[in-house]
Protein backbone atom coordinates (compact mmCIF):
# COMPACT_ATOMS: atom_id res chain seq x y z
CA UNK A 1 0.00 0.00 0.00
CA UNK A 2 1.06 3.59 -0.58
CA UNK A 3 0.38 6.86 1.25
CA UNK A 4 1.65 10.41 0.96
CA UNK A 5 3.10 11.52 4.30
CA UNK A 6 4.28 15.11 4.10
CA UNK A 7 5.80 15.20 0.63
CA UNK A 8 7.03 11.60 0.62
CA UNK A 9 5.47 8.54 -0.97
CA UNK A 10 5.56 5.87 1.75
CA UNK A 11 5.14 2.13 1.31
CA UNK A 12 3.39 0.26 4.12
CA UNK A 13 1.55 -2.92 5.14
CA UNK A 14 -1.82 -2.95 6.93
CA UNK A 15 -3.11 -6.36 8.00
CA UNK A 16 -5.33 -7.95 10.66
CA UNK A 17 -7.87 -6.62 13.13
CA UNK A 18 -7.76 -5.66 16.79
CA UNK A 19 -5.60 -3.23 18.78
CA UNK A 20 -3.15 -1.29 16.60
CA UNK A 21 0.44 -2.59 16.57
CA UNK A 22 2.98 -0.50 14.64
CA UNK A 23 6.34 -2.00 13.65
CA UNK A 24 9.46 0.04 12.87
CA UNK A 25 12.38 -1.61 11.08
CA UNK A 26 16.11 -1.02 11.47
CA UNK A 27 18.66 0.88 9.41
CA UNK A 28 19.19 -0.54 5.92
CA UNK A 29 16.17 -2.80 6.36
CA UNK A 30 12.52 -2.76 5.22
CA UNK A 31 9.13 -4.20 6.09
CA UNK A 32 9.74 -7.44 4.17
CA UNK A 33 11.99 -8.69 6.97
CA UNK A 34 9.05 -8.47 9.39
CA UNK A 35 6.87 -10.77 7.24
CA UNK A 36 6.88 -13.79 9.57
CA UNK A 37 6.22 -11.63 12.64
CA UNK A 38 3.39 -9.82 10.82
CA UNK A 39 1.83 -13.14 9.83
CA UNK A 40 1.81 -14.06 13.52
CA UNK A 41 0.62 -10.80 15.10
CA UNK A 42 -2.19 -10.18 12.61
CA UNK A 43 -4.03 -13.08 14.25
CA UNK A 44 -4.84 -10.82 17.18
CA UNK A 45 -3.76 -7.31 16.21
CA UNK A 46 -4.24 -4.69 13.54
CA UNK A 47 -0.62 -4.78 12.39
CA UNK A 48 0.97 -1.92 10.46
CA UNK A 49 4.57 -1.61 9.24
CA UNK A 50 6.05 1.04 6.97
CA UNK A 51 9.23 1.42 4.98
CA UNK A 52 10.82 4.39 6.71
CA UNK A 53 11.90 7.36 4.53
CA UNK A 54 14.98 6.34 2.56
CA UNK A 55 14.38 2.59 2.85
CA UNK A 56 12.56 -0.14 0.98
CA UNK A 57 10.00 1.20 -1.46
CA UNK A 58 9.54 4.57 0.27
CA UNK A 59 10.91 7.88 -1.00
CA UNK A 60 14.20 9.21 0.28
CA UNK A 61 13.92 12.37 2.41
CA UNK A 62 14.93 15.66 0.82
CA UNK A 63 17.04 16.62 3.85
CA UNK A 64 18.97 14.53 6.42
CA UNK A 65 16.82 13.23 9.29
CA UNK A 66 17.73 12.83 12.96
CA UNK A 67 15.88 10.77 15.57
CA UNK A 68 13.39 13.57 16.28
CA UNK A 69 12.63 13.84 12.57
CA UNK A 70 11.87 10.12 12.42
CA UNK A 71 9.67 10.42 15.51
CA UNK A 72 7.77 13.24 13.83
CA UNK A 73 7.44 11.16 10.67
CA UNK A 74 5.86 8.31 12.66
CA UNK A 75 3.48 10.74 14.35
CA UNK A 76 2.54 12.23 10.96
CA UNK A 77 2.00 8.74 9.55
CA UNK A 78 -0.37 7.84 12.39
CA UNK A 79 -2.16 11.20 12.31
CA UNK A 80 -2.72 10.83 8.55
CA UNK A 81 -3.84 7.20 8.42
CA UNK A 82 -5.07 6.31 11.93
CA UNK A 83 -6.27 9.56 13.54
CA UNK A 84 -8.94 7.87 15.66
CA UNK A 85 -6.63 5.42 17.43
CA UNK A 86 -6.37 6.04 21.18
CA UNK A 87 -3.90 3.26 22.08
CA UNK A 88 -0.99 2.04 19.97
CA UNK A 89 1.57 -0.65 20.78
CA UNK A 90 4.98 -0.27 19.12
CA UNK A 91 7.54 -2.88 18.11
CA UNK A 92 10.95 -1.76 16.91
CA UNK A 93 14.12 -3.41 15.68
CA UNK A 94 17.54 -1.73 15.85
CA UNK A 95 17.06 1.88 14.61
CA UNK A 96 13.31 1.41 14.95
CA UNK A 97 13.95 0.91 18.64
CA UNK A 98 15.73 4.26 18.83
CA UNK A 99 12.66 5.99 17.44
CA UNK A 100 10.32 4.18 19.81
CA UNK A 101 12.44 4.94 22.89
CA UNK A 102 12.25 8.65 22.19
CA UNK A 103 8.58 8.52 21.23
CA UNK A 104 7.61 6.46 24.29
CA UNK A 105 9.63 8.69 26.64
CA UNK A 106 7.50 11.67 25.61
CA UNK A 107 10.67 13.78 25.41
CA UNK A 108 11.23 14.91 21.84
CA UNK A 109 10.94 17.94 19.63
CA UNK A 110 7.55 16.92 18.32
CA UNK A 111 5.65 19.28 16.06
CA UNK A 112 2.39 17.55 16.92
CA UNK A 113 1.20 16.21 20.24
CA UNK A 114 0.45 12.51 20.45
CA UNK A 115 -3.30 11.90 20.53
CA UNK A 116 -2.79 8.32 21.72
CA UNK A 117 -1.28 6.43 24.63
CA UNK A 118 1.30 3.65 24.40
CA UNK A 119 0.31 0.75 26.69
CA UNK A 120 3.19 -1.56 25.73
CA UNK A 121 6.48 -1.52 23.83
CA UNK A 122 8.57 -4.28 22.28
CA UNK A 123 12.23 -3.61 21.46
CA UNK A 124 14.24 -6.29 19.70
CA UNK A 125 18.00 -5.98 19.32
CA UNK A 126 17.44 -2.26 19.73
CA UNK A 127 19.89 0.54 19.12
CA UNK A 128 20.08 3.58 21.38
CA UNK A 129 23.16 3.08 23.52
CA UNK A 130 26.41 4.62 22.30
CA UNK A 131 29.04 1.85 22.15
CA UNK A 132 32.40 2.26 23.84
CA UNK A 133 35.01 2.44 21.09
CA UNK A 134 37.90 0.03 21.06
CA UNK A 135 41.47 1.31 20.68
CA UNK A 136 41.46 0.08 17.08
CA UNK A 137 38.28 2.05 16.35
CA UNK A 138 39.72 5.16 17.98
CA UNK A 139 42.87 4.81 15.88
CA UNK A 140 40.80 4.43 12.72
CA UNK A 141 38.82 7.58 13.58
CA UNK A 142 42.03 9.55 14.14
CA UNK A 143 43.37 8.40 10.77
CA UNK A 144 40.15 9.46 9.05
CA UNK A 145 40.25 12.91 10.64
CA UNK A 146 43.92 13.31 9.69
CA UNK A 147 43.34 12.50 6.03
CA UNK A 148 40.14 14.56 5.89
CA UNK A 149 41.96 17.57 7.32
CA UNK A 150 44.83 17.04 4.88
CA UNK A 151 42.76 16.90 1.68
CA UNK A 152 40.53 19.75 2.85
CA UNK A 153 43.31 22.19 3.80
CA UNK A 154 45.45 21.43 0.74
CA UNK A 155 42.51 22.06 -1.62
CA UNK A 156 42.46 18.48 -2.92
CA UNK A 157 38.84 17.99 -1.84
CA UNK A 158 37.77 21.12 -3.74
CA UNK A 159 39.75 20.26 -6.88
CA UNK A 160 38.65 16.63 -6.85
CA UNK A 161 35.19 16.43 -5.18
CA UNK A 162 35.13 12.65 -5.32
CA UNK A 163 38.18 12.39 -3.06
CA UNK A 164 36.31 13.17 0.16
CA UNK A 165 33.50 10.82 -0.80
CA UNK A 166 36.01 8.02 -1.43
CA UNK A 167 37.65 8.69 1.94
CA UNK A 168 34.32 8.52 3.74
CA UNK A 169 33.50 5.22 2.04
CA UNK A 170 36.91 3.79 2.95
CA UNK A 171 36.68 4.63 6.65
CA UNK A 172 32.90 4.43 7.12
CA UNK A 173 30.76 1.39 7.94
CA UNK A 174 29.16 -0.81 5.28
CA UNK A 175 25.83 0.97 5.92
CA UNK A 176 27.53 4.33 5.45
CA UNK A 177 29.30 3.28 2.25
CA UNK A 178 26.08 1.92 0.73
CA UNK A 179 23.98 5.01 1.47
CA UNK A 180 23.33 8.12 -0.58
CA UNK A 181 24.70 11.46 0.62
CA UNK A 182 21.49 12.50 2.39
CA UNK A 183 21.16 9.09 4.06
CA UNK A 184 24.80 9.14 5.16
CA UNK A 185 24.17 12.43 6.90
CA UNK A 186 21.04 10.93 8.44
CA UNK A 187 22.98 7.90 9.66
CA UNK A 188 25.56 10.10 11.37
CA UNK A 189 22.83 12.14 13.08
CA UNK A 190 20.97 9.03 14.23
CA UNK A 191 23.83 6.87 15.53
CA UNK A 192 25.54 9.69 17.41
CA UNK A 193 22.58 10.44 19.66
CA UNK A 194 22.77 8.77 23.06
CA UNK A 195 19.28 7.73 24.17
CA UNK A 196 20.21 6.47 27.64
CA UNK A 197 18.93 9.68 29.32
CA UNK A 198 15.46 9.03 27.85
CA UNK A 199 15.14 5.42 28.99
CA UNK A 200 14.02 6.05 32.61
CA UNK A 201 11.05 7.96 31.16
CA UNK A 202 9.87 4.89 29.24
CA UNK A 203 7.57 3.80 32.06
CA UNK A 204 5.11 1.45 30.32
CA UNK A 205 5.74 -2.34 30.23
CA UNK A 206 8.62 -3.03 27.83
CA UNK A 207 9.57 -6.41 26.41
CA UNK A 208 13.21 -6.60 25.33
CA UNK A 209 14.06 -9.52 23.03
CA UNK A 210 17.73 -10.06 22.25
CA UNK A 211 19.97 -12.50 20.44
CA UNK A 212 22.93 -13.44 22.61
CA UNK A 213 25.17 -13.47 19.51
CA UNK A 214 24.21 -9.94 18.44
CA UNK A 215 27.37 -8.00 17.56
CA UNK A 216 25.68 -4.86 16.16
CA UNK A 217 23.77 -4.06 19.35
CA UNK A 218 25.25 -6.49 21.90
CA UNK A 219 23.32 -8.21 24.65
CA UNK A 220 24.93 -5.85 27.16
CA UNK A 221 22.85 -3.05 25.57
CA UNK A 222 19.67 -4.98 26.31
CA UNK A 223 20.80 -5.63 29.86
CA UNK A 224 21.48 -1.92 30.36
CA UNK A 225 18.06 -1.00 28.93
CA UNK A 226 16.41 -3.46 31.31
CA UNK A 227 18.02 -1.64 34.24
CA UNK A 228 17.20 1.85 32.97
CA UNK A 229 13.55 1.26 32.00
CA UNK A 230 11.38 0.84 35.13
CA UNK A 231 9.02 -1.82 33.74
CA UNK A 232 11.31 -3.62 31.28
CA UNK A 233 11.97 -7.35 31.08
CA UNK A 234 14.63 -9.02 28.95
CA UNK A 235 14.20 -12.29 27.03
CA UNK A 236 17.35 -13.75 25.47
CA UNK A 237 17.33 -16.03 22.43
CA UNK A 238 20.42 -18.23 22.46
CA UNK A 239 22.27 -18.55 19.18
CA UNK A 240 20.47 -15.63 17.55
CA UNK A 241 22.21 -12.56 16.18
CA UNK A 242 21.09 -9.02 15.41
CA UNK A 243 17.96 -10.27 13.64
CA UNK A 244 16.66 -12.52 16.39
CA UNK A 245 13.15 -12.46 14.90
CA UNK A 246 14.55 -14.10 11.75
CA UNK A 247 17.23 -16.30 13.33
CA UNK A 248 14.70 -18.05 15.57
CA UNK A 249 11.22 -16.98 14.46
CA UNK A 250 9.47 -19.75 16.42
CA UNK A 251 10.92 -18.75 19.79
CA UNK A 252 10.66 -15.03 19.02
CA UNK A 253 6.95 -15.31 18.21
CA UNK A 254 6.35 -17.52 21.25
CA UNK A 255 7.88 -14.87 23.53
CA UNK A 256 6.05 -12.08 21.73
CA UNK A 257 2.75 -13.96 21.84
CA UNK A 258 3.02 -14.38 25.58
CA UNK A 259 3.55 -10.64 26.04
CA UNK A 260 0.74 -9.65 23.67
CA UNK A 261 -1.72 -12.40 24.60
CA UNK A 262 -1.70 -14.10 21.19
CA UNK A 263 -2.36 -17.84 21.23
CA UNK A 264 0.47 -19.90 19.81
Assess whether pLDDT exceeds 60 at residue 112.
no
Q: Within this chain, do residues 34 and 74 fall inside the same structural domain, yes or no?
A: yes
Alpha-carbon gap, residue 204 to 261, rounded angstroms? 16
Q: Within this chain, do residues 63 and 121 fall inside the same structural domain, yes or no?
A: yes
Q: Within this chain, do residues 58 and 90 fall inside the same structural domain, yes or no?
A: yes
Average pLDDT over residues 103-126: 86
The dihedral of CA 244, 248, 254, 255: what is its sign? negative
Question: How many domains does the structure of the chain reveal?
Answer: 2
Note down the domain range covering 20. Answer: 2-130+193-260
pLDDT at 180: 84
Residue with the bigger pLDDT between 192 and 20: it is: 20
Alpha-carbon gap, residue 247 to 239, rounded angstroms? 8
Q: Which DSSP letter does residue 98 get?
A: H
Q: Within this chain, do residues 236 and 106 fall inside the same structural domain, yes or no?
A: yes
Q: Within this chain, do residues 56 and 99 fall inside the same structural domain, yes or no?
A: yes
Per-residue model confidence as pLDDT tens digits over 246-260: 999 999 999 999 999
Q: Within this chain, do residues 88 and 68 fall inside the same structural domain, yes or no?
A: yes
Q: Within this chain, do residues 176 and 200 fall inside the same structural domain, yes or no?
A: no
pLDDT at 138: 45
Task: Single out the residue of 189, 167, 187 nearest to residue 179, CA to CA.
Answer: 187
pLDDT at 167: 47
How many other CB atoms sit within 10 Å of the CB of residue 73?
21
Give the CATH number, domain containing residue 237: 3.40.50.1820
Q: Within this chain, do residues 9 and 54 fall inside the same structural domain, yes or no?
A: yes
Assess whether pLDDT exceeds 90 at residue 181.
no
Q: Within this chain, do residues 214 and 98 fall inside the same structural domain, yes or no?
A: yes
What pLDDT band is residue 158 in, cutting at 50, 70 and 90? low
Amino acid sequence: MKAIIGDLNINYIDEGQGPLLVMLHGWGSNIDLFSQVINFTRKGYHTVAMDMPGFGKSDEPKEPMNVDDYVNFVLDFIKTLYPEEKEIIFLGHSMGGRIIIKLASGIHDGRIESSFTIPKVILTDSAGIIPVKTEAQKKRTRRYKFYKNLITKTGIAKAFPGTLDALQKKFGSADYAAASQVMRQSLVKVVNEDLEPYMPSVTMPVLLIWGDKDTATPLSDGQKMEKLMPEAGLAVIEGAGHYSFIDNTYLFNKILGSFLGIGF
